[in-house]
Amino acid sequence: MEKLVSAFIFDLDGVITDTAEYHFLAWQALANDVNISFTREDNEELKGISRMESLEKILALGGREDDFSLEEKEMLAAKKNEHYLELIQKVSPSDILPGMKELILTIKAKGHKLGLASASKNAFTVMEALDLRDLFDTIVDAKEVKQGKPHPEVFLTAAEQLGVDPSTCIGVEDAVAGVEAIKAAGMFAVAVGPEESFRHADLVYSSTDEVTYEKVLNTYQK
């Protein structure tokens, strides 16, 4: 008997579009303001991690974790976000990563539900800029959950809002913390990125254009 797939729940940054570069540019400018050097390699560690946790990691990189009060840290995070919001004004449907629009439309046509589970507080803005907001049955972002990835809360909230059992959901992520969150939610995990980073995923693809509905369903059914 075929196993039921009730919903696909996607991560946003790094799966549907690549805003990581804009996060990087905005964090690098902020790091520069506080005399910390911050590289693209350092930025890899921030994927899927919340804004405040990202700031803490950057301050720790420069050994400045004890130099700012909570209020000052909130101001630094707000400054980075203002810059990030300016940068993402350029985002348009042409920034959807290869293969993702087709995959989303196929999932919809096959009658599965579609959810978004993002650690970004800007998820609605980005989904609107990509012209994808109306295709999704639910969008859960960092404003709605208390615990960030790798905690499963954001994926479980999406499943709850879709009215489906988490064990019948397929999650798609590009971050290690995100794959851990999908598995902790009891879902089937599809990872996009280097094979060696995702030992806990059920399926790994090196890029988004390799993720097809048929391939994912075939492995899920096995």
Site string for ligand B16, 94-133 (x = CB under 6 A): ------------------------xxxxx-----------
DSSP string, 80-125: HHHHHHHHGGG--GGGBPTTHHHHHHHHHHTT-EEEEE-S-TTHHH
- Asked whether position 12 contacts ligand B16 by CB under 6 A, the answer is yes
47 is in an annotated binding site: yes
Please state the closest distance from residue 120 (CB atom) to Mg ion, in A: 8
Catalytic residue list contains 13: yes
Q: Which of 17, 47, 202, 204 binds ligand B16 (CB under 6 A)?
A: 47
**Structure-block tokens of residue 114:** 């579609």
**Between residues 116 and 164, which has the closer beta carbon with respect to ligand B16?**
116
Shortest-Cβ-distance residue relative to Mg ion? 14
Tell me if 50 contacts ligand B16 by CB under 6 A. Answer: yes
The rounded distance, in Å, linking the Cα atoms of 125 and 69 is 30
The answer to whether 78 and 206 have CB atoms below 8 angstroms apart is no
122 binds, among Mg ion, ligand B16, none (CB under 5 to 8 A by kind): ligand B16
Q: How far apart are CA 175 and CA 49, in angstroms?
A: 9
Helices (H) and strands (E) in the chain, counts: 9, 6
Answer yes or no: is 137 a known binding residue: no
- Taking CB under 6 A as the rule, does residue 17 contact ligand B16? no
Distance CA 107, CA 114 (A): 8
List the single partner that 49 binds among Mg ion, ligand B16, none, CB under 5 to 8 Å by kind. Answer: ligand B16
Q: How far is the CB of 180 from ligand B16 (least distance, A)?
A: 12
**Do residues 173 and 191 lie in contact, with contact meaning Cβ atoms separated by under 8 Å?**
yes
Query: Which are the contacts of 79, defined by CB distance < 8 A and separation ≥ 6?
Result: 30, 33
Q: Is 180 in the site for Mg ion (CB under 5 A)?
A: no
Pairwise CA distance, residues 171 & 95, whole Å: 21
Interface with ligand B16, residue 153, by CB under 6 A: no
Question: In sequence order, which residues have a C-beta less than 8 Å from that of residue 209 and are 6 or more positions away?
Answer: 97, 98, 99
Site residues for ligand B16 per CB under 6 A: 11-14, 23, 46-51, 54, 81, 118-122, 142, 175
Binding-site sequence positions for Mg(2+)? 11, 13, 173-174
Query: Which of the residues are catalytic?
Result: 11, 13
